[in-house]
Amino acid sequence: MLDGFIKVAAATPEIRVADCEYNADKIIALIAEAKMQSVKLLVLPELCVTGYCCHDLFYQPALLNGALEQLSRIVKSTEGMDMLIAVGCPLVFDGELYNCAVIIQNGNVLGVIPKKYLPNYNEFYEARQFTGAVDGEFNMRLFSKNVPFGLNLLFECSELPELTFAAEICEDLWSPAPPSIGLALGGATVIANLSASNETIGKEAYRNALITGQSARLICGYIFASAGEGESTQDLVFGGHRMIAENGTALADSGLYTTGLTISEIDVQRLTTERRRNTSFKCSEEPKTRRISFSMKPERTVLTRNVEAMPFVPQSSSEKDKRCSDILKMQAHGLAARIRHTHCKTLVIGISGGLDSCLALLVSIEAMKLLERPASDIIAVTMPCFGTTKRTKSNAETLCQILGTTLRVIDISDSVRQHFKDIAHDENDHNVTYENGQARERTQVLMDIANEENGLVIGTGDLSELALGWATYNGDHMSMYGVNASVPKTLVRHIVYYYARTVSAPALRDVLTDIFNTPVSPELLPAKDGEISQITEDLVGPYELHDFFLYNGIRWGFPPKKVYRLAQYALGQNYDAGTILKWLKTFYRRFFAQQFKRSCLPDGVKVGSVSLSPRGDWRMPSDASSAIWLKQIDEL
């Protein structure tokens, strides 16, 4: 529960139709197994106490009384447990029979939720035996106590209010207006579906899409537990499908024809943060809900869910290639639209032989293709100075020549020296003035060429550099259109590598591969023995870590202690705890201190869910204090 994580499970017991005692034994065994695995929220299938396929046996008092007796056993077996459990059972209320989800904790029934929509088509005819739920607040007498009964029940954890649980039953989700919509708008962050969904060809894929889609639409955790082995195969087959989804992502999927537990962790803190951010998550009329409090001991949840070490880069090769292709197209189309609007004759771009300028040039090439204009309309300018190495200069020139751009080589050394003379700066003093003087001179050259050639200066800086403020103010920080502005460094590398793998020209592939393998550097300090002396990641930290911090700390708003925990979990094999903590502090310190650079960024296309544009996703005062965040890091 700490940091917002709650360990949840969907369970499918092996059952026998109408053998309530046998079924209760299996359910109790699964509850005990879930407890051993520290599960805090357990969902079992629809009508699992009796079996879904009892049909007209549901008219028999012997079955209903047997179900009630065994439900009592199940409830008593939970004494001393703070696990919240949802179990499916038929119950009589006010003379009518209902298909119910019974919510249990610590030897008590907290509430009973009846099914609203009863399928009565094709192989289903539930309306023959059951009554559909109606809106309203009711209480039913169950085990000598008055228990809340109704569709609108919300179960809120006293120790973690972000954990608010609700349930619907099978067909309810398939209906045009699922109860889960009102329950989520009323505050439910985790919704269970107790189901007895039989298998037909194609249904598994449809069900997967339905469950993940509902979790995305409602910004919730969704736990689906379906009936399986033991249900009657007279006309149907049940697969015991179990799924756990969170905001559109499947966290766990059992597949078909298994029994037992499917376990993962839902991050309710992440869900509530996203709901606050999403101003569309509201309705004109407040849903009528009934809140029931329960208590759960705060504990550190052991994580088993996947936490991406590189959240911007898909894991599978096919998904990675598709993302790289999609981003290139978005960047190119955005730039093409800007070219059309400005009627510019040329694009002007500074080429260093590094990854960022390489990607910006490739995007420019693709934009020109869209406009059916020649690559020679791109003026690629390489501007060697004190730190430029033969490798990067050669790669820059070779890349431009192969692509067919108009290449200009302008050595800015004399201009920078004159500038140092003008401001009385000692060239032997390699301080920030020494570095930034070169960056600003390069930008001046590009801007003036653009004036001369009716051109548009294309920015090369990426999202990771913007987050850290790793750019010279009014130097490489400035352009007329920043094509890489929302592409993080970890993804820049993969896009360039993808381009290298998919081009047909061997020479282009070779130079792109060498650029991919070149260390990231601004090359503003003199080279040592002809090699790059200034490695960016030695100075500001690994971009792999910073992109992780950016995604989790800024996109999702997690506090530093949670980001640190997740980083250890996802990247602990590559970095020790001290290293992660060191660069985490650097990230937050720089992120706050460098906001003034982001407050005046040029336009740039948004390609992903994270952007730091002051006109888009990120608005922050340039003088905001980092004290709260840094204090929390110091306490780790």
Q: Cite the active site residues.
A: 46, 115, 170
Tokens 């107790």, residue? 194
By CB atoms closer than 10 A (0-12, 13-18, 19+), residue 553 is buried
Q: Please, what is the angle between helix 506-517 and helix 390-403, to 10°?
A: 150
Integer-rounded Cα Rg, in Å, for the chain is 30
Q: Are 264 and 251 in contact (CB under 8 A)?
A: yes
Looking at residue 528, the DSSP 8-state letter turns out to be B
Spatial separation of the C-alpha atoms in residues 558 and 552, rounded to whole Å = 6
Closest CA to 150 of 173, 125, 132: 132
The span from the CA of 510 to the CA of 319, in Å, is 24
Distance CA 416, CA 340 (A): 35
Cβ pair 327, 487 in contact under 8 A = yes
Q: 546, 468 in Cβ contact below 8 A?
A: yes
Alpha helical stretches, state H, 229-354:
268-277, 317-342
Q: How many residues does the chain have?
A: 636
Pairing relationship of beta strands 249-253 and 242-246 according to DSSP bridges: antiparallel
- Cβ atoms of 294 and 110 within 8 Å: the answer is yes
Residue whose C-alpha is closest to residue 85's, from 165, 180, 16: 165
Residues near 383 by beta carbon (within 8 Å), at least 6 away in sequence:
350, 409, 410, 411, 412, 441, 442, 445
Chain-centroid distance of CA 394 in Å reads 40
- Whether 39 contacts 8, CB under 8 Å: yes
What phi and psi, each to the nearest 5 degrees, are found at residue 452?
A: -70, -35
Handedness of CA 476, 481, 486, 492 (dihedral sign): negative
Place of tokens 């800024």: 554
Token pair in block for residue 146:
């008055």
- List % helix, strand, coil for the chain (3-state, nearest 5): 40, 20, 40
Q: Tell which residue, 211, 269, 298, has the closest CA to residue 10.
A: 211
Sign of CA dihedral 437, 439, 443, 448: positive
Q: Which two tokens stand for residue 139?
A: 């209480």
Long-range pairs of 282-290 with CB within 8 A, sequence gap ≥ 24: 282/185, 283/185, 286/186, 287/152, 287/182, 287/183, 287/185, 287/186, 288/135, 288/152, 288/186, 289/152, 289/153, 289/154, 289/182, 289/183, 289/186, 289/187, 290/137, 290/148, 290/150, 290/152, 290/153, 290/154
d(CA 296, CA 300): 12
SS (H, E, C) 144-202: CEEEEECCCEEEEECCCCCCEEEEEECHHHHCCCCHHHHHHHCCCCEEEEEECCECCCC
